[in-house]
Structure 1
Amino acid sequence: MPPLTESEFLVLAGQALDRLEADIEAAADAADADVEINRTGNVMELEFEDGSKIIVNSQAPMQELWVAARAGGFHFRHDGGKWIDTRSGAELYAALSGYMSQQAGATLKLG
């Protein structure tokens, strides 16, 4: 797949962050978990009841979404259909569900 233009990447990343924000709110409500979402532009910060955080942000120069969680740092690249971890091959929603569940102490399932 050829690289995206910067504007194409920014549109895809913005859509992904919008969808994540809505789905995280729904998952937290469904699990009765306390997850505070703060978003400024291309950076979304999730804060959990224990004070731990997960940061999701877009990196236009690398054309990746980066996730920083207690489990580590992860880079996701769009493959034309999904955001895929560049090392493990995990899909963003599945991976983020696991990281959030770990930090929330409750099962949070996205998507």
Structure 2
Amino acid sequence: MVAQMNDSEFNTLADLALTRIENGLESSGADLDFAMVSAGVFEIEFADGSKIIVNRHGAAQELWVAARSGGFHYRWDGQNWRDTRDGTDLMATLAKLVSAQAGEPVQLN
């Protein structure tokens, strides 16, 4: 169990993750649009009009992902953002979700 972060630490780590997602999507060349639509809310829109939303949830100190296949919550484990249910890595899972909705492979490194 990782010790609770203060708000500043959480926001810094969350912003770094959102920037990493944005950079990964930018270099992927996939047919999709994405933008930070408000503070801590990142939206990915696909050619078919569907979306994936990644947002900071400060009260829980989690990153939340809403996708066509469901909702996911990620908590910082000291090294990575991990799903609170199955422990999978945020970037690996998000790459699969984006690939599925985009209909083409997308890597987020």
State TM-score, norm by structure 2.
0.95
Aligned residue runs from structure 1 range 78-93, under 5 A:
78-93=76-91
Task: Supply the RMSD in Å over aligned alpha carbons.
Answer: 0.8
Query: What fraction of aligned residue pairs are identical, expressed as a percent?
Result: 49
TM superposition shift of 1:71: 1.0
Aligned pair partner of 1:36 in 23, 33, 38: 33
Instruction: Give distance in 2, aligned partners of 1:83 and 1:59.
Output: 13
Residue in 2 that maps onto 1:15: 16
Flag structure 1 segments of 5+ consecutive residues without an equivalent: none
Structure 1 runs (4+) greater than 3 angstroms displaced: none
What residue ranges of structure 2 are gaps of 5+ in the alignment?
Answer: none
- Partner of 1:66 in structure 2? 64
What is the one-letter code of the residue matched to 2:66?
A
Give deviations 1:43-83, integer Å, cap 9, x for gaps.
00000011110000000100000000011000000000000
Aligned residue pairs, count: 107
